[in-house]
Amino acid sequence: MCKPLFSILKWWKTYAKDTVERLCQFDRLRTNTFHVCLTGDSRNIDIFEQLKKVHPQFGDFIKKQKIQGIFSSPPYVGLIDYHEQHAYAYDLFGFDRNDDLEIGSMFKGQGREAKQNYIQGITDVLNNCKKYFAEDYSVFLVANDKYNMYPTIAEMSKMKIANQFRRPVLNRSEKDTTAYSETIFHLKER
């Protein structure tokens, strides 16, 4: 039976407290590093070119030194439509939507073709990133690989799975409390 929410005060308090705690924790942990945020399709974004536009000096530095690696949480296959999940942000900030460029979006499902497109999509991302990597790069990808696609992705990207770490997912925002863990794949050049 669905009932309307009569008050959001409880959630407001919970999330407000959680946000302040996270900000304090981040403040204790953060180091004095320099960051630039680039948006684009990771299958074909020209990182050096885009960096140069945003910060020419940093762009030159990275072009010489190259990138040591990636730590990323890529999308899962057919689970979430990220544009929909964050629709309010596109609306509030006036960002252009690129729904069609989402890799593994929910509306494409989890069928054979969707999985093949997913494998190709993540492979294209890794092959694009390789152009910007230093020689002894490391890629860390957080994945719930229940269809065992990452060995194929590594193979097609000419990478090897150097290590796999298990990460238990404890505090899920969904009310579902079933034990669940993710793998962090550590990929390196083959």
Ligand X SMILES: C[S@@+](CC[C@H](N)C(=O)[O-])C[C@H]1O[C@@H](n2cnc3c(N)ncnc32)[C@H](O)[C@@H]1O
Binding site for ligand X (CB under 6 A): 41-43, 72-75, 82, 101-103
| Structure-block tokens of residue 12 | 């407001």
Q: How far is the CB of 163 from ligand X (least distance, A)?
A: 20
* Complex with ligand X: residue 72 or 110, whichever CB lies closer: 72
Q: How far is the CB of 162 from ligand X (least distance, A)?
A: 21
* Complex with ligand X: residue 59 or 121, whichever CB lies closer: 121
Q: How far is the CB of 105 from ligand X (least distance, A)?
A: 7
* Complex with ligand X: residue 13 or 172, whichever CB lies closer: 172
The runs of H, that is alpha helices, within 94-143 are 112-130
| Structure-block tokens of residue 66 | 């190259």
- Integer angstrom CA distances of residue 50 from 9, 36, 70, 97: 43, 10, 17, 19
| Structure-block tokens of residue 87 | 């629709």
* Complex with ligand X: residue 59 or 74, whichever CB lies closer: 74
Q: How far is the CB of 28 from ligand X (least distance, A)?
A: 20
Q: From its phi and psi, is residue 114 left (phi > 0), alpha (psi between -120 and 50) or beta?
A: alpha
By beta carbon distance, the residue nearest ligand X is 82
**Whole-angstrom distance, CA of residue 20 vs CA of residue 24:** 6
* Complex with ligand X: residue 82 or 140, whichever CB lies closer: 82
Q: How far is the CB of 124 from ligand X (least distance, A)?
A: 9
Burial category of 58 from C-beta neighbours within 10 Å (exposed 0-12, middle 13-18, buried 19 and up): middle
